[in-house]
């Protein structure tokens, strides 16, 4: 799939992995629809991207911010409609997620069920809500020919985590949600293959994100040293680079790709 001339939707697009992805796809010639919460920096980021393209002849691309909660069907459908208004929707990248920790038996007692449910609702149900509505828009488009991969309609990229495989103490909700995202990759890819839509999941390790930025610098450095090579935190641009490669490589389908510097998480 050619990034140039495509329309892409990115959830969690106002910061972190989502913002880096939006910038990479926009720089590659795609129009981007940023989906994030109303209080995010999405509008300012879209304006920044549009400003970076101002004055360039023949760019034919735009960045749009559509505030939405990924668990809200009507709001997500509005974002899909905004994307379709720009042209055929070809790319979806699901980056929105939360990582609220909580032990089953914590210092304050048993983990509240609504705390567990909220993580599942955002990370799993929200991801599925967006991809199902985006997929419906993708299959309504005419296929595009690619140089080597044959005709395609679209690419869906979801975000899991290494916690899907090595969840740590205090991560039962997060690990369950990300494990489910990884688990649904193959059945989705198998189903949507007949519609010429690919589905791939990325499972990042420890990355520089707004959640990580809340930790003291020495804690961040300590986490980075746990990565075998390179011994540092992952950079959002590296995640975005993998997204771009997945879009462009037609043989990547039905797979969960670890992007983690060979880290295997310990129990805590």
Which residues are catalytic, by number?
A: 174
Tokens of 187: 């059945």
Q: What are phi and psi of 98, to 5 degrees?
A: -130, 155
Q: What are phi and psi of 101, to 5 degrees?
A: -80, 165
Which helix (H) or strand (E) segment holds residue 120: the answer is helix 113-120
CA nearest to 96, candidates 153, 148, 21, 30:
21
Which helix (H) or strand (E) segment holds residue 16: the answer is helix 16-27
The answer to whether 242 and 93 are in contact (CB under 8 A) is no
| C-alpha–C-alpha distance, residues 4 and 119, integer Å | 35
Q: For strand 7-11 and strand 105-106, is the pairing parallel, antiparallel, or unpaired?
A: unpaired
């Amino acid at each position: 799939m050619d990034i140039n001339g495509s329309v892409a939707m990115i959830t969690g697009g106002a910061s972190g992995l989502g913002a880096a992805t939006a910038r990479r796809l926009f720089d590659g010639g795609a129009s981007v629809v940023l989906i994030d919460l109303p209080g995010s920096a999405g509008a300012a980021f879209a304006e920044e991207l549009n400003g970076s393209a101002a004055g360039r002849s023949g760019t034919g691309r735009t960045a749009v911010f559509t505030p939405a909660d990924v668990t809200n069907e009507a709001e997500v459908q509005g974002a899909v409609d905004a994307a379709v208004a720009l042209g055929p929707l070809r790319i979806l990248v699901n980056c929105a997620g939360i990582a609220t920790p909580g032990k089953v038996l914590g210092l304050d007692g048993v983990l509240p069920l609504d705390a567990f449910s909220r993580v599942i609702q955002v990370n799993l149900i929200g991801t599925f809500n967006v991809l199902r509505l985006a997929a419906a828009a993708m299959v309504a488009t005419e296929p595009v020919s690619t140089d080597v991969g044959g005709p395609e309609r679209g690419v869906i990229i979801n975000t899991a985590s290494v916690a899907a495989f090595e969840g740590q103490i205090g991560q039962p909700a997060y690990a369950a949600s990300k494990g489910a995202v990884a688990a649904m990759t193959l059945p989705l890819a198998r189903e949507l293959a007949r519609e010429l839509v690919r589905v791939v999941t990325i499972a990042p390790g420890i990355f520089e994100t707004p959640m990580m930025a809340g930790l003291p610098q020495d804690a961040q450095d300590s986490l980075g040293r746990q990565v075998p090579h390179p011994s540092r935190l992952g950079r959002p641009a590296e995640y975005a680079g993998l997204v771009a490669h997945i879009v462009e490589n037609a043989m990547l389908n039905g797979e969960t790709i670890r992007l983690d510097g060979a880290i295997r998480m310990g129990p805590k």
